[in-house]
Chains A and B, each alone.
Chain A
Amino acid sequence: MALLGILLFLMIIGAVIAVETRNLLSSIVCLGAIGFLLSIVFLFLGAPDLAITQLVVEILCLVILIRATIHRRVETVAGNREFVGLAVTVVMLAIVLMLAISMMAGFPSLGTSVLDRMAQAPSHFYLLQGKAQTGVTNIVTAILLDFRAYDTLGEATVLFCAVMGALAVLRRSARRRPEEGDAGDEGEGGAE
């Protein structure tokens, strides 16, 4: 448990650096560090599926962010907004944090999952019947693709739509750019 605390503390340090540093590239690298630490935390929490996914997703995330920003003469957008606003923001966020932590008072302590507290929890059913009903030994996969496959279909659709959205956002200019000259003016006129 102490190890978990240390890892989380490192993640928070990384988050503060990622948010506060001037250089965009080091900010992205800090985000990567947070992601990899999160992957280790998942491993400690008994979630190897999540650890693997987080690891590869983090790599791809870094590649995409760096590709998008690195050549763009990263002008360090210095400073925050004005000081009074910043102070008010910090105070408000501190209040939000205090409220969230005080809400945690009624929360069951860490390490007692719903499996221990409720005999009727759906996870009991999944763990007991997962192998028998789906023939799969990885219960996470059994939940993901059998008991709750409807959800997963929706998630796959969301993923697809997000990527199609990215395509749609980038499409027009990407088409227009290579010709640059006359075709560009046409595209400009058609769009505005």
Chain B
Amino acid sequence: MSGGTHQGGMSLIVRTVTRWLKAFILLFGIYVVLYGHVSPGGGFAGGVVIACAYILLTLAEGRERTARLLSERLAAVLAVAGLLFFLGVGLAGMVGGRAFLDNFLVGDSGAEPALASGGIIELCEIAIGIIVSMSLFLAFAVLSRFRVSLGDGDETATGEGGAS
């Protein structure tokens, strides 16, 4: 923010730390999404963590570098795909004459809780994780793009418009 000296990014320290941390944050987000059915967490929390990872990347490295990993178009496509996937899982439950969103994959109930023990719950968690993370990243990306362009037009003597 105030330390924004490089074009479209933050200082070297922040960028180096981000380079090390981003994979772990992503991993933690995916873990929270996948294990939401046996421990606290789930698609909503994990999705926000994943979105945070990409937002940290955007803040530290600038929009151009992040767009190479995850462009806004791809994020929008993924968000829509997640929503359709959720809907598809719900419709797939209807195939055998069951109800919409019926849990048709659930196994024997006495089994130890494992990754797949929840049936469609796991699929829905993943779908929600994708929807939440991509939607929020998209919202942030659009907001930040707006700020940069506004800074250009609004403050004439900014020097470098794309700082942070």
Report A-B touching, CB under 8 Å.
Answer: yes
Chain A residues with CB under 8 Å of chain B are: 48-49, 51-53, 56-57, 59-60, 63-64, 66-68, 70-71, 73, 131-138, 140-142, 144-146, 149-150, 152-153, 156-157, 159-160, 163, 166-167, 170-171, 173-174, 177-178, 180
Residue of A nearest to B107 (CB): A135
Q: How far is the CA of A52 from the CA of B121 in the complex (A)?
A: 19
Interface string of B81-101 (1 = CB under 8 A from A): 011001100100000000011
- Please determine whether B44 and A53 come into contact, CB atoms closer than 8 angstroms: yes
A59 to chain B, nearest CB (A): 6
Which listed segment binds A: B13-21, B61-69, B129-137?
Answer: B129-137
Give 16 A-B pairs besides A68-B143, A170-B145 with Cβ atoms closer than 8 angstroms.
A49-B45, A52-B41, A56-B48, A67-B143, A67-B144, A71-B151, A73-B155, A133-B106, A135-B107, A135-B111, A135-B117, A135-B119, A136-B113, A138-B39, A146-B103, A174-B146
Chain B residues with CB under 8 Å of chain A are: 1, 32, 36-45, 48-49, 51-52, 55, 59, 76, 79-80, 82-83, 86-87, 90, 100-101, 103, 106-107, 109, 111, 113, 117-121, 124-125, 127-128, 131-132, 135-136, 138-140, 142-147, 149-153, 155
